[in-house]
């Protein structure tokens, strides 16, 4: 017994080091393994408060660009409104049906990250505003991420610029589906993989969110095709997509809640389970 104590006492620094190393390595490996697995995130009162204070100062530097982006979005929405075929009758029937499934919450990016191999950013709304994990985040230009961790007043968002980000997307013109991912190289581009070979793809075609996504509504813009590669092994196309969003400067964003998400997932699970039993 005495010897054990002696050993522990002599090597206390080494043991403390190994303990702390074990804890921090566990945290690191966990964060690399799957979604929402990080134990320490910036979605908490301390870092949220600090970033909010820093953001209030920084905001003044980009006021002009933010205003222009919002005015541009207004113009686009007005154009859609003015071009509806019958502005008196149509909205009454159509809007409740189309809007019913999705709720939109306005929010602001208070910390952005784009230079790390796995990027997350922080927004200044949380449980209080009704944010939940796995809600979609879009800016006025298109998709930017998916909510990951939520605290009372803040949330962290899995950025498009993260290899963990996967989204069902399609070519707007011909409805061919693929999966949007990021290869970690360039902040201006994402990759659309597994596009079937019989799809006609051309440089400049628009990529939008697909109908299979349970998080985003269909037809939210993502980017345009910049380059087309053929994957030799699988005979699928890999498309280099130039993102509409400049991910290095994000300001106001909208959080989209798909109210039918749980229902869809439950239904799909039941279907696969009953299929397995047969």
Partner 1 sequence: MSSSTIMNIFRFILLLALQVIIFSRLNLFGFLNPYPYILFILLYPVNGNKAGLLLSSFLLGLMVDMFTDSGGVHATACVTLAYLRPTFFKFSFGLSYEYQTVKINERLSPERFSFILISIVTHHLILYLLEVFKFSGILLVLTRTLFTTIFTLILSIIIIYLIKPGKQ
Biggest alpha carbon–alpha carbon distance for the chain? 90
Q: List, in sequence order, every residue forming a beta bridge with 149; answer none if it has no partner.
A: 156
Please, what is the minimum distance in Å from the beta carbon of residue 27 to partner 1?
Answer: 3
Q: By the 8 A CB rule, do 169 and 180 touch? A: yes
Q: How far is CA 5 from CA 1, 2, 169, in A?
A: 6, 5, 61
Torsion of CA 250, 254, 255, 260, to 10 degrees: -140
139 binds partner 1 (CB under 8 A): no
Other beta carbons less than 10 A from residue 180's beta carbon: 25
Please, what is the minimum distance in Å from the beta carbon of residue 217 to partner 1?
Answer: 27
Please, what is the minimum distance in Å from the beta carbon of residue 189 to partner 1?
Answer: 13
Q: List, in sequence order, every residue forming a beta bridge with 68; answer none if it has no partner.
A: none
3-class secondary structure, 238:
strand
42 binds partner 1 (CB under 8 A): yes
Of the two residues 38 and 176, which places its CB atom closer to partner 1 in the complex?
38
Please give the distance of CA 90 from its chain centroid, rounded to a whole number.
33
3-class secondary structure, 87:
coil
55 binds partner 1 (CB under 8 A): no
45 binds partner 1 (CB under 8 A): no
One of 179, 187, 191, 224 touching partner 1 (CB under 8 A): 187
Q: Which of residues 115-134 bind partner 1 (CB under 8 A)?
A: 115-118, 120, 122
One of 7, 17, 63, 99 touching partner 1 (CB under 8 A): 17
41 binds partner 1 (CB under 8 A): yes
- Which residues bind to partner 1, rule: CB under 8 A? 12-13, 16-17, 20-21, 23-28, 30-32, 38, 40-42, 44, 46-47, 50-51, 54, 111, 113-118, 120, 122, 156, 184, 187, 248
């Amino acid at each position: 017994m005495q010897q054990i104590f002696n050993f522990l006492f002599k090597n206390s620094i080494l043991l403390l080091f190994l303990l702390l190393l074990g804890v921090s390595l566990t945290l690191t490996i966990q964060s690399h393994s799957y979604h929402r697995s990080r134990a320490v995130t910036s979605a908490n009162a301390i870092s949220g408060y600090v970033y909010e204070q820093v953001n209030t100062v920084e905001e003044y530097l980009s006021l002009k660009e933010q205003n222009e982006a919002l005015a541009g979005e207004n113009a686009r929405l007005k154009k859609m409104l003015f071009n509806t075929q019958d502005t008196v009758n149509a909205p009454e029937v159509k809007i409740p049906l189309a809007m019913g499934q999705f709720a939109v919450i306005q929010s602001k990016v208070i910390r952005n990250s784009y230079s790390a191999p796995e990027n997350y950013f922080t927004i200044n709304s949380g449980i209080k505003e009704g944010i939940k994990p796995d809600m979609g985040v879009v800016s006025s230009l298109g998709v930017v991420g998916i909510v990951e961790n939520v605290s009372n007043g803040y949330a962290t968002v899995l950025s498009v610029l993260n290899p963990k980000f996967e989204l069902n997307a399609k070519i707007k013109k011909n409805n061919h589906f693929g999966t949007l991912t990021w290869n970690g190289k360039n902040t201006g581009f994402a990759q659309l993989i597994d596009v079937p070979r019989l799809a006609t793809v051309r440089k400049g075609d628009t990529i939008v969110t697909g109908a299979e996504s349970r998080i985003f509504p269909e037809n939210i813009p993502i980017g345009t095709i910049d380059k087309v590669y053929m994957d030799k092994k699988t005979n699928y196309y890999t498309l280099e997509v130039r993102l509409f969003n400049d991910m290095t400067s994000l300001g106001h964003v909208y959080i989209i809640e798909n109210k039918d998400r749980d229902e869809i997932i439950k239904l799909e699970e039941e279907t696969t389970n009953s299929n397995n039993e047969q």
